[in-house]
Amino acid sequence: MKKYIININGERKGITIDGETPLLWVIRDELKLTGTKFGCGRGLCGACTIHIDGEETRSCITPIENADGLKITTIEGLSENSSHPLQKAWIAEDVPQCGYCQSGQIMTAAALLSRNPDPDEDDVNSAMRMNICRCGTYNRIRKGIMVAAKEMKNG
């Protein structure tokens, strides 16, 4: 057991825990931020996607010792009131069906738009290819990303 300091959603938190504990369980069980979901536990589906220093990261396979002192953003930290352009586009385009994978989808899309504010369809497909939606809302996900990119570009 060791004490780790993480900056999560703009707040510094000290957590005393085994260093190999996946961030997913620190976020959900210790910090009670339940927007980040458990999907496969192997980093393959994308449901657990968060940002570490702005880069999308699979929290189910990232031990807390690898995030010590780094800036972590979860879906709860993307915006205080669901006003991020992606969150608004998700609602406007009726993207989610069951909704389980959506926080991971949005976090992956947010990372894409931060590094490429004007993606084309190939860019979106490439960025999102490792996020699984069992309901098959891929067309709505792509449309939501393009709508958000346009809104962000237009201010």
Q: What is the mean pLDDT of the chain?
A: 96
Write out pLDDT tens, residues 52-63.
999 999 999 999
Return d(Cα 26, Cα 60) in angstroms, integer: 10
Residue 100 identity: Y
Return d(Cα 110, Cα 145) in angstroms, integer: 9
Mean predicted confidence (pLDDT) in 115-139 = 96
Residue 113 identity: L
pLDDT value of position 80: 86
